[in-house]
Amino acid sequence: MFRNRGDVVFWIVLGAVLLAGFGVTQTIANEYYYTAIYAILQATIMAVAWNILGGFTGYVNFGSAAFFAIGAYTAVALDKWLGLPMPFLIAASAAVCGLMGLGVGYLTLRLKGVYFAIATLAMAIVLETLINNWDYVGAAKGVYILTPEKVPFFSSYIQLLFMVMLALTLGSIAISRYLNASRIGRGLAAIRDDEVAAECAGVPTLRLKLISTTLMGAMMGVAGAPYPFFVTFVDPISAFNLFVAVNSIAMPMIGGTAHWIGPVIGALLVGGAQEVITVTVSSELNVLIVGIMLVLFITLAPQGIVGLVQKWMKRRKR
């Protein structure tokens, strides 16, 4: 865990953020803040997860909303059927969406580039139709979730979920960071750069791609599991929202895809801006803002914010 000084700093920061989050729940009662930060945390997990396949491995997934929604609906269905507690629901969503990711991984055998992206988008549409017709989880009209009135340690269920989400977010960042610097991470980078050459250099490309898609799916499922309980109502339109998929792509692109911190920066920046704009300007306009930011970054700084900083540091060294 502590291989060098960077590791120590990383874990101290993680611990500090978690403590700060707990501190917030003990001092602030206004639920708006939790709703806003929860949205940013959820977007962060999605962005970090998308980046494992999109940034590290080089396969663009347009169907992120499907993983998120299936994660949410797995939790809804198991809650209704067995009434399992939250940790089990999260684990179950991770397992189901991980399997979904594994299936998508096999698509990479035949589909690359834009064809893979289209296939993932198509998968999302198929799954949305499925949920739209599944009465047990409310079908197209959606389903209300009852949440407990009282919880231990926190003054509301919202605050508890907020802490759960914060811990999950930090966990997903830690996984992504570890992967980025690992032998597997270097194998994934080789696949991204040239799959044929990677295979000839001894990289088991299929196995690594399956690891990548499975991990991505599981993490997106984890992001989706607490969502129905946080908003207490979920329907296919909100769960399969294209905006979820667009955000998952835009945030890593804006932050920078090659480095683990890129999607985190992107999610904090774009997610933060969205929350501010929703309150100060309008909730419709924030979609436009993301679009403009994405276009600007893709044309002017394709390596994202991380790339800009790296370029700047290199210039300073000279």
Partner 1 sequence: MSAPILKVSGVSKRFGGFTALDGIELELGASERLGLIGPNGSGKTTLINCISGALTNDAGSIVFEGQDITRLPPHRRAALGVARSFQIPKPFRSMTVLENLRVPLEYAARGRTERRRIDADALEVLELIGLKNRAHDSSAGLTQVDMRKLELARALAAKPKLLVSDEAMAGLSSSEVDEILEILLALNGRGVAVIMIEHIMRAVMGFAQRLVVLDAGRKIADGTPQDIIRNPDVERAYLGE
Q: Does 161 bind partner 1 (CB under 8 A)?
A: no
The only residue of 14, 18, 167, 189 in contact with partner 1, by rule CB under 8 A: 189
Q: What is the largest CA-CA distance in the chain?
A: 64
Q: Is 203 in the site for partner 1 (CB under 8 A)?
A: yes
Q: What is d(CA 140, CA 128) in angstroms, rounded to the nearest whole number? A: 9
Cα–Cα distance for residue pair 138/121, rounded to 1 Å:
23
Instruction: Work out how close the CB of 91 gets to partner 1 at its nearest, in angstroms, rounded to a whole number.
Output: 32
Site for partner 1 in 247-266 (CB under 8 A): 258
Establish if 193 lies at the interface with partner 1 (CB under 8 A): yes
**Shortest approach of partner 1 to residue 54 CB, angstroms?**
14
CB-count burial class (<10 Å; 0-12, 13-18, 19+) for 208: buried
Yes or no: say if 78 and 226 are a contact pair by the CB < 8 Å rule.
Answer: no
Interface with partner 1, residue 313, by CB under 8 A: no
Q: In sequence order, what are the beta bridge partners of 144?
A: 233
Burial 26-64 (b: 16+ CB within 10 A, else e): eeeeeeeebebbbbbbbbbbbbbbbbbbbbbbbbbbbbb
Q: Which of 52, 123, 173, 198 binds partner 1 (CB under 8 A)?
A: 198
User: What is the nearest approach in angstroms of partner 1 to the Cβ of residue 186?
Assistant: 6
Among 2, 110, 135, 196, binds partner 1 (CB under 8 A): 196
Tell me the window of 30-38, 110-118, 144-152, 201-209 that interacts with partner 1 (CB under 8 A): 201-209
Any contact of residue 110 with partner 1 (CB under 8 A)?
no
The distance of closest approach from Cβ of residue 193 to partner 1 in the complex, given in angstroms and rounded to an integer, is: 4
Size of the site for partner 1 (CB under 8 A): 20
Mark the segment that binds partner 1 (CB under 8 A) among 3-11, 143-151, 196-204, 231-239.
196-204
Min dist. Cβ of residue 84 to partner 1 (A): 41
302 is a contact residue toward partner 1 (CB under 8 A): no
Instruction: Identify any residues that bridge with 143 across adjacent strands, giving them in sequence order.
Output: 234
Give the nearer residue to partner 1 in terms of CB position, either 35 or 310. Answer: 310
Least Å distance, CB 102 to partner 1, is 19
Told to check if 83 binds partner 1 by CB under 8 A, we report no
- Enumerate binding residues for partner 1 (CB under 8 A): 183, 186-187, 189-190, 192-194, 196-206, 258
